[in-house]
Amino acid sequence: MNTNKKIILVNLPQGNDYRHEDAGKSYPAPGIMVIGTILKKKGYDVSLIDGALYRDYEEKVLEKVSGDTAFIGFSAMTSQIVMAHDLAERVKAKCPGVPVIFGGVHATLYPEQTVQNSCVDIAVINEGSKTVLEIMDYIAGRKHLGDINGIAFCDKNGEVKVTPPRDLDDILDIPHFDFKLLDIERYLSAKSVYKRELDPEDTEELRVMPILTGLGCCFRCAFCINVILGRKYRLRSAESVVNEMKRLQSEYGANGFLFLDEDFCINRKRLAEFIDLVKEKGIDFSGRIWTRVSYFRQEAFRKTMRELEGIGIRSIAMGAESGSQKILDYIKKDIKLDDITFAAKELSGGKITPRFSFITGMEGEKKEDTIATYKLCRDLLAANPRVDIAGPFIFRYYPGSPIFAEMVEKYNIHIPQSIDEWRKALNDDGSLSIDSQQWTWPGFSRYSESMHDYITTYAYVLNKPFYREKTLFKILKKMILWRISCGEHLYVLDYYFFKILKKMRSLFKNLRHMTRARKEKIDENDRNNSVKVEVNAAS
């Protein structure tokens, strides 16, 4: 029987190509925050180590783990599975008896192969807020592993056992995030990755915090894992959300909120209650929500948008995905092409940043479809200086979506069966290495990378308030829009031009990283020496 109450949870960097220059600009994954909060609320001693914050997170984990550790938990996407395995292997080498638990997308998709690895004891399938408490009962000797639904493990004979699936979590049973799990000032003092959207004029000192307001999704986008996992939509009440805003403002001085919700506006009753409560409580904030472009067709919704702007919503993220109706239908987005431009038009001239995400490189996507997507981005940027473009991203074939499942069957794509196979099969960004030339048009990669670089330069550099009204930058912006318009010509030259710029930028980043790392090491040595001096003086 293990009665230890010390638990270590690890939030991993997003991929092998992750750099820590942006450390603290984004919070750990919601799933691991939920698990940590629930365990802490039950009285367990929880340490959450954020690998996206700490460059030396592996050493921090190894320093922390001991025979007193009840278990160490990793939440890993496929892009992170090799990192999770390698650290778990080091944990097992130090403390063989400490249980290692994998949760998250990869363990959910591939539970059998996850636990066939010698350094993983349990795989948690799908959502785990209830599962983790039953696992603690098992560790304490109060429950048999086979009686816990929603897990995979190997029995004494090495045979894989997968227990019956568990019902989805009830969001009413999930507490709001406990930010005492984190070195919270490191996040609050960092410049949030959402600063550009929430405060494009750069007039505020934002202290941004996330609030989980919904789980799952009720739509059917074919590139989304929610469809495979059947995660139906569940929402918190408006009162719960507003009370959490007040608490975070009172305890942490938060004035920016990310409402983590696949569609904050889907339930109009809650939306109306939220607006009324914010007005009643007099809460001053800047907020970011997710919603759908098709809603803007409704007159009542357009009125609601004006009310949301009035209470503090400053960014609305929407999935536009493509400039081709054929592709929108293929991915089952359930929107019309002109819904995108209609939404952008409705949000022009106000204080809200419309953020549209795009994807290119789908199977069946012809050259004219790809070009249409970039030209739509051009039109959106030209129409509204506040427009923010996410991407367009080249579609990366992560396991989990219906599209991926179709591609595996159609093109006979091999799914790795072990960590060693995954190690060889993943790109640095964590996507599966697949020869996309099987379905993309000749020249697709060079064209897409070139146009993406133009859009990134326009949206993230030239469109900053400081540059926006300067004549030179106005000319540069017009040149970029013209270049996107003519993007199907000379894109090979663009491609090599940006390649050179990226190499130079990478070189400067590496130099800055080395300088910063050297300074951190010197500072750490100075601190250690100071402690030694104090100890010697005291003795």
For residue 131, which of 116, 155, 113, 149 has the smallest C-alpha distance? 149
Whether residue 293 is predicted with pLDDT greater than 90 in this model: the reply is yes
SS3 content of the chain, % helix, strand, coil (to 5): 50, 15, 35
Whether residue 479 is predicted with pLDDT greater than 70 in this model: the reply is yes
Distance, CA of 310 to CA of 343 (rounded, Å):
18
- DSSP letter for 9, please: E
Binning pLDDT at 50, 70 and 90, where does residue 316 land?
Answer: very high
State the first-to-last Cα distance of the chain, in angstroms, to the nearest integer.
43
**So what CATH class is 6-162?**
alpha beta
Which pLDDT score, from 0 to 100, does residue 502 have?
A: 67
Q: What is the mean pLDDT of the chain?
A: 87
Q: CATH homologous superfamily of domain 191-410+442-489? A: tm_1862 like domain (3.80.30.20)
For residue 24, which of 11, 40, 35 has the smallest C-alpha distance? 11
Whether residue 532 is predicted with pLDDT greater than 60 in this model: the reply is no
Q: Which helix (H) or strand (E) holds 360?
A: strand 353-360
Say what percent of the chain tops pLDDT 90. 55
Give the other-Cβ count within 10 Å of 385's Cβ.
15
Binning pLDDT at 50, 70 and 90, where does residue 3 land?
Answer: low
Task: Please give the backbone phi and psi of residue 112, each rounded to the nearest 5 degrees, phi first.
Answer: -65, -50
Average pLDDT, integer, range 355-375: 93
For residue 7, which of 34, 43, 42, 45 has the smallest C-alpha distance? 45
Cis geometry, peptide bond prior to residue 385 (ω within 30 degrees of 0)? no
Whether residue 537 is predicted with pLDDT greater than 60 in this model: the reply is no
Query: pLDDT digits over 51-70, tens only?
Result: 999 989 999 999 999 989 99
Same fold, 6-162 and 191-410+442-489: no
Average pLDDT, integer, range 438-463: 86
Q: Which helix (H) or strand (E) holds 48?
A: strand 45-50
Which pLDDT score, from 0 to 100, does residue 420 have?
A: 85
Locus of tokens 């949301």:
308
For residue 43, which of 70, 71, 6, 74 has the smallest C-alpha distance? 6
Query: pLDDT digits over 168-196, tens only?
Result: 889 999 999 999 999 999 999 988 888 88
Average pLDDT, integer, range 428-457: 82
Which pLDDT score, from 0 to 100, does residue 288 have?
A: 96
Query: pLDDT digits over 379-425, tens only?
Result: 999 888 889 999 898 887 666 678 888 888 888 888 888 888 888 88
Domain boundaries, the chain: 6-162, 191-410+442-489, 494-539
Q: Is the dihedral of CA 470, 475, 478, 484 positive or negative?
A: negative
Pairing of strands 151-154, 160-162: antiparallel
Whether residue 145 is predicted with pLDDT greater than 50 in this model: the reply is yes
**Measuring CA to CA, how many Å separate 441 from each of 224, 362, 368, 370?**
24, 10, 10, 9
Average pLDDT, integer, range 423-430: 79
